[in-house]
Structure 1
Amino acid sequence: MRFSLSVVLAMAASVLAQGDPIVIDTPASAVQCQTTLVTWTGGVAPFNLSIVHDRTAEHYNGLTERTFAWNTDLPANTDLFFFIIDSTSHTGQSSLFLIQPSEDSSCL
């Protein structure tokens, strides 16, 4: 089967427009009332990040970078995960992780 150059280029453009899959990193440690750096790769900006936990979710919309400094404003021993969606509706999700304790409770 033969394809014209224009058909091949159109198919390649369609694949490239989909963007890379989003991979959001699970932090090695998230500590109560300290900054946690959320990072991800892939996807097409802008991004909408949700921090999902047992009580509710926090939403940060219109992010243009692939990093987000989050003030970990949840108490120790809270289970949570990060969920992200990009401008093309592709999604990514971290693994479930646990907030670690701290002497600082000023953010709660």
Structure 2
Amino acid sequence: MFATVAFAQANDDLTINTPPSIVQCKTTMISWDGGVSPFDLVRISISLSMHNTETPNLLLSINLRAKCSVTEEGVVVEDFPNILPGSSFDFFVDFPAGATLGFTVTDNNGDKAETAPVTVQESDESTCLSD
């Protein structure tokens, strides 16, 4: 019976939970269900508001090697590979209020799930934002 339960869990469809809100300079948990570990989590910037100027078709791209570039909307800009063994990741929101982000999780089988776009909310904390 144990093998049957483990097999059923391994074949669950992969889904990712859209965070109800994300707040600048705060940590938010990104979680998912189903799928087969290990998982890769990718952050996608959809739009970024800069100095009260909306730039929906361009965005600031930051990867783990600290390279910055301007890319087209919806391009992968940060990858958190091989999250083991769990089904969640604490993401520090170092984006200003008004930026719109999305997340995609991919499991070991190549199955993917995406969040809906989420707009970063304002907070009193802004020390994490670069000038």
Q: Give me the TM-score of the superposition, normalised by structure 2.
A: 0.67
Query: Post-superposition shift, 1:19?
Result: 2.3
d(CA) in 2 for partners of 1:17, 1:78: 35
Show the counterpart of 1:58.
78
The alignment covers a number of residue pairs equal to 95
Q: Helix, strand or coil for the counterpart of 2:12?
A: coil
Please give the root-mean-square deviation of Cα atoms over the aligned residues, in Å. Answer: 1.9
Rounded Cα–Cα distance in structure 2 between residues aligned with 1:18 and 1:102: 39
Percent identical among aligned pairs is 32
Task: Deviation per CA, 1:18-56: give whole Å up to 9, x if none.
Answer: 722111011111000001010100111111101100433
CA contact (8 A) 2:41 2:80 kept: yes
Structure 1 segments of 4 or more deviating over 2 A?
15-19
Match of 1:39 among 7, 31, 40: 31
| Pair member with larger Rg | 1
Aligned mates of 1:59, 1:42 — CA distance in 2: 20
Unpaired runs of 5+ residues, structure 1, are 1-14
Q: Larger helix proportion, structure 1 or 2?
A: 1
Q: Residue in 2 aligned with 1:30?
A: 22
Letter in 2 for 1:25: N
